[in-house]
Amino acid sequence: MATTVTQSGQITLPKAVRDQLGLTPGSQVDFRQAADGSVILVRVDQASLADRFDKLRGHAGAGPNTDAVMALTRGEP
């Protein structure tokens, strides 16, 4: 997919790209340069959502121990 840069430096993202990223008017995007020099377009709110979940991973708190879980599955009081 190709697009043209306007005289003021603006581009129109192809509809297929907007649809794939779920971009709607007002969506924020970030441009990141990869090690090979290519540029990656990332939806900002999706990246921050993933970051929030990563921070919570493994922090569910103490739960029942194995004996308590086994008692529940057996229907023991």
In contact, 22 and 43? CB cutoff 8 Å? yes
pLDDT at 45: 73
pLDDT at 76: 84
Task: Tell me the C-alpha distance between 34 and 20, whole Å.
Answer: 20
- What residues are paired with 39 via a beta bridge? 33
pLDDT at 70: 92
pTM, full prediction: 0.52
What average pLDDT values come out for the chain (77 residues) when binned by 10 residues? 93 92 89 91 70 65 85 87
